[in-house]
Structure 1
Amino acid sequence: MPYAAVNGTELHYRIDGDRHGNAPWIILSNSLGSDLSMWTPQVEPLSRHFRVLRYDTRGHGHSEVPKGPYTIDQLAGDVLGLMDTLKIARANFCGISMGGLTGVALAARHADRLERVVLSNTAARIGSPEVWAPRVARARGEGMVALAEAVLPRWFTAEFIEREPVVFAMIRDVFVHIDKEGYALNCEAIDATDLRPEVPGIKVPALVISGTHDVATLPEQGRELAQALPGARYVELDAAHISNIEKSESFTKTVLDFLTEPK
Structure 2
Amino acid sequence: MAPVELFDELRALESTETKDQWYIVAATAMAAAGAGPDVTELYQMATKGKSLDEEKHIQRRLKEAILKTSILYGVPRSLQALLPLFSILKEEQIDHYGPRTEAMKNGETQEERRNRGRQHFDTLWTPVAAQANRNKNFKYQPDLYLLNLETIYELWLSENTILNAVETQMCTTAALICSGSPQQAMWHTKGIVRHGGSLDTARFAQDIALRIGKEYGCKVDAVAKVDEIDFDDATPH
TM-score, scaled to structure 1: 0.30
Q: Relative contact order (C-alpha < 8 Å, sep 6+): which is higher?
A: 2
TM-score (ref. length: structure 2): 0.32
| Higher-helix-fraction structure | 2
Higher strand share: 1
